[in-house]
Structure 1
Amino acid sequence: MLIDNYLKLPSCFITATDTDAGKTHVSCEILQAWQQQGWSVAAYKPIASGAIWRDDKLVSEDALALAQVTGQSLSEINPYTFEAPASPHIADKQQTFDLAACIQHFRHLLQKYDRVLVEGVGGWCVPLSDDLMLKDLVKALNLPIVMVARIGLGCINHSLLTMEQIKRDTDLYHGWIANVIDKGFEDADANIQAILDRS
């Protein structure tokens, strides 16, 4: 994982090849690298599903991890939190997601902090509601997109397909970060090189 290439980004949007690719881990690394440059930083995860109950409150474990780095409140990081570990358009049974409110919250963060990192939910082709896709949110935020590739069996296909779809959907694609989830995966380097050679 090479974070140095992303230090100069003014802010960014983190997406991934799929669920559990390590978006939050990478997001925390970038936020910490920004902090080391002396910038004030914020994390923003507009939607989180698969949340847990803690002290009679539904919380996102991803938001908790992000808050440990930035010191923000969970409500500032993650306004839409759903218990069901499902796509947002399924988890949000009442269809409460408000794109305009999401954008307004992001602009408020930009005024308050030097850098804002926005973390998506699931992979790239995720519906946020019956009418909205993740790409609609990213286009509205107009941020450089960094894709996290879960390095393991099947990652070449997943990575190349995701990159291609991002480029079809927007002109905001910036780059990708390899995240080796399975430390015992012997072909990690060869898979990363295969993605590099074809991307």
Structure 2
Amino acid sequence: MKRLKQRYFIAGTDTDVGKTLVACALLAQARSRGLTTAAVKPVAAGCIETEDGLRNDDADQLLAQCTVPLHYEQVNPIAFLEPIAPHIAAQKLGQRMQVDRLSGFTSGVLMQGANLTLVEGAGGWRVPVNERETLADLAISLSMPVILVVGIRLGCINHALLTVEAITKDGLKLAGWVANCVDPEMAELEANIATLQSRIKAPMIGLVPHLTGIGTPAARVDACQTYLDLDTLVN
């Protein structure tokens, strides 16, 4: 197992569905098995200003789970202060992002050869990079299988099925999906999940209960690990 070099693109049905939580939990589980880990969040919008430059909390959490020695800028090469759509943030600064540049940044981390490398997208599948490219084009350029994090809340069935359809039409493999219960008061929770299981032709690698009430991000990652099936990905 330790010789494997598994790479996955972590996508979400929307923003705030738990992509970082799931990615960190998978990396933490891999670390506990003695596997080497690395991660990239090529674009992050919503940062704080520090003495070392802009820093994004999600990227910091990913970096904390990497056993491969990486600098922050390798994990998150493009960072924007405002928590807005990345292409709009770039436009406001007179910049233009390009997929080939994002792919180059990401490839640098992939070359480190970790047993498990995860590349986390931003928002949903079709988040624009510029006027004609989206983050889906990054996953396509890297030929990466996709892990889809589905935020289980009202509307999740439509969002999940449309995203699965888009991933498939883009020619990528859906390696698995995670049901993350982001709404603690979700009506007919079991029925919604059963509907998704019957319609998504890929393994459900985790059913994560609502964890927001658990203290620190690290504690939530530890809790999330217990609900994910890493064996589906690394065996």
Q: Considering the TM-score relative to the shorter chain, is it more than 0.5? A: yes
Quote the residue 1:5 is aligned against. none
| Matches of 2:85 and 2:171, distance apart in 1 | 21
| Matches of 1:75 and 1:186, distance apart in 2 | 41
Q: Which secondary structure state, in structure 1, belongs to the residue aligned with residue 6 of structure 2?
A: coil
Say whether the 8 Å CA contact 2:87–2:128 is kept in structure 1. yes
Cα deviations by residue, 1:168-199 (Å, 9 ceiling, x for unpaired) = 12233222111111233353222111111122
TM value normalised by structure 1: 0.88
Shift of 1:88: 1.6
| Matches of 2:170 and 2:5, distance apart in 1 | 21
* Letter of the 1:58 counterpart: L
Say whether the 8 Å CA contact 1:87–1:128 is kept in structure 2. no
| Matches of 1:100 and 1:176, distance apart in 2 | 27
Runs of 4+ that moved beyond 3 A: none
Q: Which secondary structure state, in structure 2, belongs to the residue aligned with residue 92 of structure 1?
A: helix
Q: Which of 10, 19, 22 pairs up with 1:14?
A: 10
Query: Are residues 54 and 185 of structure 1, via their aligned partners in 2, closer, same or farther at CA, if it must alter by over 3 Å?
Result: farther
Quote the residue 2:27 is aligned against. 31
Question: What pairs up with 1:42-53 in 2 under 5 angstroms?
Answer: 42-53=38-49
Say whether the 8 Å CA contact 2:125–2:163 is kept in structure 1. yes
Moved more, 49-58 or 124-133: 49-58
Q: Which secondary structure state, in structure 2, belongs to the residue aligned with residue 148 of structure 1?
A: strand
| Matches of 1:115 and 1:26, distance apart in 2 | 14
Q: Which secondary structure state, in structure 2, belongs to the residue aligned with residue 70 of structure 1?
A: coil
* Letter of the 1:60 counterpart: N
| Matches of 2:85 and 2:51, distance apart in 1 | 25
Quote the residue 1:114 is aligned against. 115
Cα deviations by residue, 1:114-172 (Å, 9 ceiling, x for unpaired) = 32100001100111112311121111111111110001111111111111121112233
Q: How many residues align?
A: 192
Shift of 1:92: 0.8
Say whether the 8 Å CA contact 1:21–1:179 is kept in structure 2. yes
Say whether the 8 Å CA contact 2:126–2:136 is kept in structure 1. yes
Q: Which secondary structure state, in structure 1, belongs to the residue aligned with residue 111 of structure 2?
A: helix
| Matches of 1:67 and 1:164, distance apart in 2 | 31
Quote the residue 2:87 is aligned against. 89
TM value normalised by structure 2: 0.75
Say whether the 8 Å CA contact 2:24–2:61 is kept in structure 1. yes
| Matches of 2:188 and 2:72, distance apart in 1 | 38
Moved more, 154-163 or 12-21: 154-163
Gaps in structure 2 of 5+ consecutive residues: 201-235
Say whether the 8 Å CA contact 2:43–2:78 is kept in structure 1. yes
Q: Which of 58, 62, 75 pairs up with 1:62?
A: 58
| Matches of 2:100 and 2:117, distance apart in 1 | 18
Quote the residue 2:76 is aligned against. 78
Query: Are residues 100 and 107 of structure 1, via their aligned partners in 2, closer, same or farther at CA, if it must alter by over 3 Å?
Result: same
Say whether the 8 Å CA contact 2:179–2:193 is kept in structure 1. yes
| Matches of 1:115 and 1:175, distance apart in 2 | 15
Shift of 1:56: 6.7
Q: Which secondary structure state, in structure 1, belongs to the residue aligned with residue 65 of structure 2?
A: helix
